[in-house]
Every structure is written in C-alpha cells, then in structure tokens.
Chains A and B, each alone.
Chain A
Amino acid sequence: MATTACFIIVSRNDIPIYEAEVGVAAKREDAAQLHQFILHAALDIVQDLAWTTSAMYLKSVDRFNELVVSVYVTAGHTRLMLLHDSRNDDGIKSFFQDVHELYIKTLLNPLYLPGSRITSSHFDTKVRALARKYL
C-alpha cells in the first residue's frame, strides 16, 4: 500500500476534472499543492509521449525526489495521472483500467458534459475503494 499517492484525471484541454488524495500517510498542508504541481509539470512530457505509442498505459513518465508519476491516456486523450512512491506496476495498471471503465460509464451519461468536473460522490467512493484495493 503506497504511503503517499495523489490521483488526478485531466481532460483533453488540460483542465483537471477529478482529483483525490488516496494515500494513508498523515498529510502536511502543502503536500497536496506540491503533488498537484508535480502532476501539472508532467503534462508536457505526457503530451509528447502520447503520440509515440498506441498503448494506453504509459508507465512512469517522470520522477521527483522519491515520487514517481505514472500516466494512463485514454482514446479521447483524457489523462489519468497517479503520483506515488511505490513500485507496484501491475497493481497500478489494474487500478488505471478499472478507473477507465468508471470514467467511460460516467461519460456515457448524456447529462454529463465531457470535460467538466466529475462531482458524483458515488464515483468518488468507488475510486477510493479501488485505490485501497490495488495500491
């Protein structure tokens, strides 16, 4: 289980549509902002990398001290980004795939505008449950 992990879903237009801190360690106040800053800085790298491969899971694209950024890009160029300190590649891949399915189901809702924030508490609950299961 990762001690720190920050999960963000970023839309095609580089706007975060969902964020969650899913680690178990005690939080410092500025940790959350630092995590978001690191993930934001990794977006450039992801953009270049996304066009070189047709796979969706991009493994780890960036490092910061001992934290690693792993990214999963969907067909619609929505990026699922995870900042973590563990090495559990398989668990992270399964986590991304399950969240991807949840995202598709959210997208199929005709009342959901693609690219807008995901506010459903059910979605939030399920993502955190998945994080506990796989990370």
Chain B
Amino acid sequence: MIGVGKVKQYGNVLDKPLNKGKQEVSLSAFAFLFSELVQYNQTQVDNIGELERRLEDAGYAVGARVLELLCHRDKGNRRETRLLGILSFVHSTVWKVLFGKVADSLEKGTEHEDEYMISEKELLVNKFISIPKDMGTFNCGAFVAGIVRGVLDGAGFPAVVTAHFVPMEGQQRPRTTILIKFAEEVLQREARLG
C-alpha cells in the first residue's frame, strides 16, 4: 500500500498534531469520489430538487469543519464578525485551501441589498461532469454551495446559498455563480454594528 510504514502511528486521533501536512490531494481521486457521491445519491432520491439538497447537506458538514480548522490554522485565532470579512474569508482563504486558487470574483448583487455572488469560470467539482438535458437546471456545484452555507452558518451569518450556471458568450462551458442571500437578522446586526 502506498505510504504505509512511513507515518508515525498515534494511539488516538486526539494525539495527532493539527499542522498542515500535504497541501495537495490527487484530482482524479477526488473526481472519482465525488462522482460516486453523486451516483449514490441519485439512487436514493426521486427528483432533482432532493438530489441537490442532499449534495448541499454533504457540503454543509464540510463547511462547518473547514471554518473552525482554517480560522485556527490560517488566521491565528481571529474570528470574523463583519459581513465583508466573512465573505472575503470564503472568497480567498476557503477557496485557496479547497481548490488551490482564490475564487474568480466576488460581487454584490445590484437588485437586492442582501445578495452577493461568488463566480468561478470552471468549478473544480464540475470539471468532469456534464449535465444531461433532461435534468434541467441541476448543478453539482450544489456541493460547493453547501460548503459556503456551512461556513457562513457556522460563523453566525445564516444565508441561503445556491449554485447557478450563467452562460457566457464566446465560451463553450457556462460560468458557475454561487448566489448568497443573507437572512434578515444578518443585515440588521451589520447595521447595528455600523
């Protein structure tokens, strides 16, 4: 087996150190694992909405853990208390750790005060996936939307997060946008904190 015999064995997981370790995971290993995740959930549900929800829930669990771990490792134990702070944390730190690069863009929605969008030309999880026509607007980026929702919810900024395809002219594959809609209480608290 690869790597066996090289790693020091710890009696219990609580004794292992929390340091960074290897920064990279094999892309193909992740792609296979993710494709299995999607296929497994497909057998369990009856409709597309349910499938999206399941992927989102899987991402939510990841997001909750990523938040705590990254604040401890990369931010030297500083919490985020402001909206822009947590959004730039997601846009840069979380994206860098999960996907190896910062997200392409972070925009504020023009129509509503509580909407923000993180855009990516090609989401890593969608790299090897093409959606058949009869699945309509289904987007496996729902997994990433779940991760973002997990991070925001954990930090105390409840939001509804969804993933959408935005067709771009001149490109064959559409751009993916993660739409974040914050709950009312977040805006009220932001206004109160000035």
Contact = CB atoms under 8 A, between A and B. Distances in A.
Interface in A70-107: 73-78, 97, 100-107
B78 A114 contact: no
The size bracket of the interface on B is: 20 to 34
A75 B14 contact: no
A77 B68 CA distance: 9
A24 to B, nearest CB: 24
A33 B130 CA distance: 58
A119 interface: no
A108 B67 contact: no
Contact of A107 (B68, B80, B193): B68
Contact of A76 (B16, B68, B78): B68
Interface majority SS on B: helix, strand, loop or mixed?
Answer: helix
Nearest to A123: B14
A73 B18 CA distance: 19
A126 B64 CA distance: 24
Contacts of A126: 14
Interface residues of A, number: 31
Report, nearest first, the 8 A-B pairs whose CB atoms are least far apart: A75-B71, A76-B154, A56-B77, A54-B78, A76-B68, A122-B12, A114-B64, A75-B79
A55 B65 CA distance: 19
B189 interface: yes
B155 A105 contact: no
B108 interface: no
24 contacts: A12-B154, A50-B81, A51-B156, A51-B189, A51-B193, A52-B193, A55-B77, A56-B77, A56-B78, A73-B79, A74-B71, A75-B68, A75-B75, A75-B79, A100-B77, A101-B18, A104-B18, A104-B68, A105-B13, A105-B18, A107-B64, A114-B61, A120-B14, A123-B14
Contact of A106 (B14, B81, B154): B14
Contact of A108 (B12, B65, B77, B154): B65
Nearest to A112: B65
Given A104-B72, A108-B69, 7 more contacts: A50-B79, A54-B79, A55-B79, A75-B79, A101-B72, A104-B69, A105-B13
Given A56-B78, A108-B69, A76 B193 contact: no
B12 to A, nearest CB: 5
A10 to B, nearest CB: 14
A120 B13 CA distance: 11
Interface in B65-98: 65, 67-72, 75, 77-81, 85
A78 B156 CA distance: 11
